[in-house]
Amino acid sequence: MNGLDKAAIFLLAIGEKSASNILKHMGPKEVQKIGTKIAQMGSITSDQITEVLEAFTEAVGTQTSLGLGGDVFIRNALISAVGEEKAKSLMDRISDKGSTQGLETLKWMESKAIFETIRNEHPQIVCILLSYLDSDQSAEVLSMFPDRDRVDLVLRMATLDSVQPSALEELNNIMESHFSGSAGVQRSSIGGVKTAAEILNFVDSAVEGDIIDSIKDVDPDLAQQIEDLMFVFENLIELDDRSMQVLLRESSSDVLVLALKGADEALKEKIFGNMSKRAGEMLRDDLEVSGPVKLSDVEGAQKEILATARRLSDSGELILGGGGGEQYV
């Protein structure tokens, strides 16, 4: 069982009421991910439930005098579900250390609706909003802007560092004018070259190329920094064997088949070499018998695997070796 499997079983085991109290603090993507996993689960054995609950109890038993403190209980459940980095962000929200309810509302909206909401705002405001959204969602919204605006927005994101409380409060108030509710603020690190690179990873290849080329005309060094931090599907060949095996365990065979339709032979062999002989042969066979597919479907499958790789990298389960990242010895 992977972390998502364990989290789904754990939430099922603790009952609907307790599970809902945890899920209500999650963002839309976390809710969708764990909800989909729960819906897809078949029968669960008593041994699996026992294993998950014992692991959870062991993880939290030494952290509080009572063994199951409220914050620890939720924190460990979230780490199991979405990884340590995402869990920290969610716990900050849960513990009310800072809240941006107006901004958070955007994450639950369709990309088209977000675009219509922010399209007429000042470019710097749009830049901060795009930096605040998840990278794939931000990429969809960015693609809806005219070409000239995309370049300006990416440049602004790449050179953005942090947002002062007063600025974030003003921005949140702008969003609150569209939505109901109240919110507090905290100083936030938003934007930067890494954020720009992550967003461009989710943009269509043609659009991504145009944006990078335009940025090179304005600031070649900045364009190079962004490119160095971008991690594309072909970079997966640079994963060490252990990292590749971790990624393959988290990737479905159907998505792999689609993604590999657009991969070169070297990457295919790297993937086959990190699977069991039987699994590798089955994947080869599936690739050979699969018919023509849309390029957009292939790119979508590749982006799904890249998103999984980034999630695993954020949680420390694998090391991404692409782009201009640091070398490991």
- Quick: pLDDT tens for 236-259: 888 889 989 999 999 988 899 999
Can you give the pLDDT at residue 101? 58
- Which contacts (CB < 8 Å, 24+ apart) does range 282-285 have? 282/253, 283/253, 283/256, 283/257
DSSP state of 17: H
Can you give the pLDDT at residue 113? 84
Q: Is the dihedral of CA 11, 16, 21, 24 positive or negative?
A: positive
Can you give the pLDDT at residue 208? 79
Burial code (b: 16+ CB inside 10 Å, e: under 16) for 222-261 equals bbebbbebbbbbebbbbbeeebbebbbebbeeeebbbbbb
Q: Which residue reads 């639950």 in tokens?
A: 108
Which has the closest alpha carbon to 116: 139, 137, 136, 145?
145
CA 189 – CA 161 distance, rounded (Å) = 6
Can you give the pLDDT at residue 66? 40
pTM for this predicted structure: 0.41
Can you give the pLDDT at residue 80? 61
Instruction: Classify burial at 219, counting beta carbons within 10 Å of its beta carbon; exposed 0-12, middle 13-18, buried 19 or more.
Output: middle
DSSP state of 325: P
CA 2 – CA 80 distance, rounded (Å) = 9
Query: What domains are defined for the chain?
Result: 3-94 (no CATH), 101-229 (1.10.220.30), 233-314 (1.10.220.30)
The yes-or-no verdict on residue 221 having pLDDT over 70 is yes
Higher pLDDT among residues 202 and 214, named by residue: 214
- Across the chain, mean pLDDT equals 76
Q: Quickly state the pLDDT bin for 186 (edges 50, 70, 90).
A: very low
For 162-166, 174-178, 187-191, which range has the lowest pLDDT when averaged over its residues? 187-191
Can you give the pLDDT at residue 30? 77
Can you give the pLDDT at residue 190? 57
The yes-or-no verdict on residue 321 having pLDDT over 60 is no
110-114, 184-188, 203-207, 245-249 — which one is most confidently predicted on average? 245-249
Can you give the pLDDT at residue 59? 67
